[in-house]
Amino acid sequence: MKLNLLSAIFALLVLPAAAQTDSLSGQPMHEGPLTSRNSSGRVIHIFPTIEKAKELGLSPIAAGDAGPLSYHGGAVMQQAYVYQIFWIPSKLQSGGATGMSSTYKFLQEAMAEQYIGHPLHDITSQYYQVTTGKQYVHAIGVGYPAYIDTNPYPASGCSDSKTPGNCVTDAQIQAEIERVMTANHWTAAPNKLFMLYTSSGEGSCFDATNTSCAYTEYCAYHSSFGGTIYSNQPFGNPSTCQLSGTPAPNDVDGDTAASTASHELSESITDPFGTAWYTSQGNEIGDLCAYEYGTNTWDGGKANQMWTGVYFELQMEFDNHTGACAQVGP
């Protein structure tokens, strides 16, 4: 009896706690250094800043997680439908100026609309979900024209140290997405991603306690609430979200933001609810290739992708077939 009791106590001390499960699918939600929970209890998965990536040992900053991505039973986006929301008020909460150049906005629209069926999207086609057999991601979908919202930002709900006085929480981001969805009669679905872009000078944090904030912890993140899959895309900041010396074929802020958005788009397709494809360390398809670009064969060595006449410098994504980062899918 004493031996059994001691064994039980030992098991409680050394065995990891059971993973939290997703309220929609019942599948375990992954844990890791880049994950947290939003107010709905769903996984938030961040794209770390350069300093955060260095701290966590993510490639290529230091030796890190080498994969592979493993399947954990949840859904993927078999055919992605991408909706973009550009939140561009006339001023920040502090009264300061804000904005978004036409070049910046064009690059984000072009990346999201043309990602579908191009090389990075092809990489995701090797990942699948299992219901009745394997159902793979299809390298097809739709990138919808963007919606521009000029409504004011709400009163600052958090304190991002990089943008004092100008900060929205994840709950405020969710509320904005819901408001725009209602205004446009958009509906949520497992194959729809809603990407919210904020304008210059606006920061964000997970909540009012400033647990994790833009430009210090993350450059962007993806998550979900109810059945709505979304990403938060803070304004591109090359000083914290781009390696020094990385070429910028168009606009340094816009190019930084486009690469970040491609990271979130790839991860939202392969792990929309935090229950599908990730490594034993909790990293996703984009994390393993954060800040890696491969060979620049376009625009005089300044770009690694050219989609219908537009040049991009976009990070690579992880190819499970080769066990390496890739610019083009299988």
41-68: pLDDT as tens digits: 899 999 999 999 988 887 665 557 889 9
Domain ranges in the chain are 35-326
Q: Residue 230: which of 105, 88, 104, 84 has the closest Cα? A: 84
Q: In the predicted model, what is the mean pLDDT of residues 121-134?
A: 94
Residue with tokens 């397709």: 269
Q: Residue 232: which of 281, 197, 263, 207 has the closest Cα? A: 197
What is the pLDDT, as a whole number, of residue 142? Answer: 78
Residue with tokens 């914290």: 240
Q: In the predicted model, what is the mean pLDDT of residues 112-124?
A: 93
CA angle 297, 298, 304 (to 5 degrees): 70
- pLDDT at residue 5 greater than cutoff 60: no
Q: In the predicted model, what is the mean pLDDT of residues 282-294?
A: 94
Task: Report the DSSP beta bridge partners of residue 141.
Answer: 80
- The pTM of this model reads 0.91
136-151: pLDDT as tens digits: 999 877 778 899 999 9
